[in-house]
Amino acid sequence: MPEFVDAHGVAIVYDVAEAAARPRAVVQLLHGVGEHAGRYGALTAALVGAGYTVYADDHRGHGRTGLRQHGGDARKLGRLGRGGHRAAVDAVWMLTQRIRAQHPDLPLILFGHSWGSFLAQILLNDHPDAYDALVLSGSGLRTPRSLNAGDLNKPWRSAKGHGMQWLSSDDAVGVAFVEDPLTTSVPIARLFGVAEGVRLYGLPRRDLGRDIPVLLMVGRDDTVAGPRSVHRLADAYRSRSKLTDVTTLVYPGARHEIFNEVAQADVRADLLAWLDPRFPARD
């Protein structure tokens, strides 16, 4: 289980899944708030099987990183600690630099889900030359009007049980999330606080300086942002960042975690169908 120490002395734990054959590219996977990289096993296996090497860390305050950071106190999972959100972004950037140093000749695809997609948007703004493609899941335009700061489970409030129905139409996903010792269901506003939460907001950088492909994937019933917000994000990447290869995929009946949905196999197939022609197999 590799790790590195960030600028504030926090040990960041990450996983590496190597492609069996010569890899097409590297995928850096960024998970969402309150969760960890271990929840992406099926996606990682599909990517590796298709020829992609995958790096995925447990972000600041999250998963194995967070448990060690907070002295084993699972009640503190999700809290970013010293340095706040900026430190969380910087730690992910440190992993990007490691990947680039270890695989200098391979394209690097940045994949982010939910909060991880916001981290990915920030990283692309700050370091546009570091990445060769951007894939965002459960994302949206990072403005107060385009993101839901309220009750994400509101449409399913009448449903009894765990209160995590907003994650997936497969009820087992919400049950597994609640039972996972490395997750927390504390809302992001409480975990980060107002001052750090504001750091989530921002727009795609104007005139990015290079034209990279972008894939935006969202469930039609996603309460974090949803299709309207994702279409606004796509428009911003085209108009502000001057990107020409921007694709949006909307999944009817799907909620926030499309890669944990009933039709997750189709979602993974769509991702690979988009990636493979842009990153051909290497001889």
**Per-residue DSSP letters for 175-236?**
HHHHH-TT-----HHHHHHHHHHGGG-B-PPSS-SS---EEEEEETT-SSS-HHHHHHHHHH
Q: Considering the chain, what percentage of its residues have pLDDT values greater than 90?
A: 94
In the structure encoding, which two tokens stand for residue 242, read together? Answer: 């001057």
Query: In the predicted model, what is the mean pLDDT of residues 38-67?
Result: 98
Query: In the predicted model, what is the mean pLDDT of residues 98-122?
Result: 98
**CATH architecture of the region 3-278:** 3-Layer(aba) Sandwich (3.40)
| C-alpha to C-alpha distance for 234 and 13, rounded to whole angstroms | 32
E-assigned strand segments in 8-113: 11-17, 25-30, 52-57, 108-113
6 pLDDT exceeds 80? yes
- Half-sphere exposure of residue 242: CA atoms within 13 angstroms, side-chain side: 7
Please give the single-letter amino acid code of residue 230.
Answer: V
In the structure encoding, which two tokens stand for residue 217, read together? Answer: 């994937």
Q: Give the pLDDT of residue 19.
A: 96
52: left (phi over 0), alpha (psi -120 to 50) or beta: beta
CB atoms within 10 A of CB 129: 9
- How confident is residue 228, by pLDDT bands cut at 50, 70 and 90? very high
106 pLDDT exceeds 80? yes
Least confident of 11-15, 71-75, 113-117, 187-191: 187-191
Q: Residue with structure tokens 């391979």?
A: 106
CA angle 103, 104, 109 (to 5 degrees): 70
The set of residues, in sequence order, having a beta carbon less than 8 Å from that of 240 and lying 6+ positions away, is 203, 204, 205, 206, 207
| C-alpha to C-alpha distance for 95 and 27, rounded to whole angstroms | 12
Least confident of 52-56, 136-140, 147-151: 147-151
- How confident is residue 194, by pLDDT bands cut at 50, 70 and 90? confident
Q: Residue with structure tokens 């309150």?
A: 34
Q: Residue with structure tokens 């993974």?
A: 268
| C-alpha to C-alpha distance for 145 and 46, rounded to whole angstroms | 35
Q: Give the pLDDT of residue 159.
A: 81
175 pLDDT exceeds 80? yes
The set of residues, in sequence order, having a beta carbon less than 8 Å from that of 249 and lying 6+ positions away, is 215, 216, 217, 218, 270
224 pLDDT exceeds 90? yes
Query: In the predicted model, what is the mean pLDDT of residues 139-150?
Result: 95
184 pLDDT exceeds 90? yes
Q: Considering the chain, what percentage of its residues have pLDDT values greater than 70?
A: 100
Task: Render pLDDT for 86-103 as a digit per residue (tens, 0 to 9).
Answer: 999 999 999 999 999 999
Q: Residue with structure tokens 């921002």?
A: 202
Q: Are 252 and 261 in contact (CB under 8 A)?
A: no
Distances (CA, A) of 180 to 39, 133, 174: 10, 31, 10
Q: Are 201 and 144 in contact (CB under 8 A)?
A: yes
| C-alpha to C-alpha distance for 241 and 19, rounded to whole angstroms | 32
Mean pLDDT, rounded, of the chain: 96
Least confident of 119-128, 194-203, 261-270: 194-203
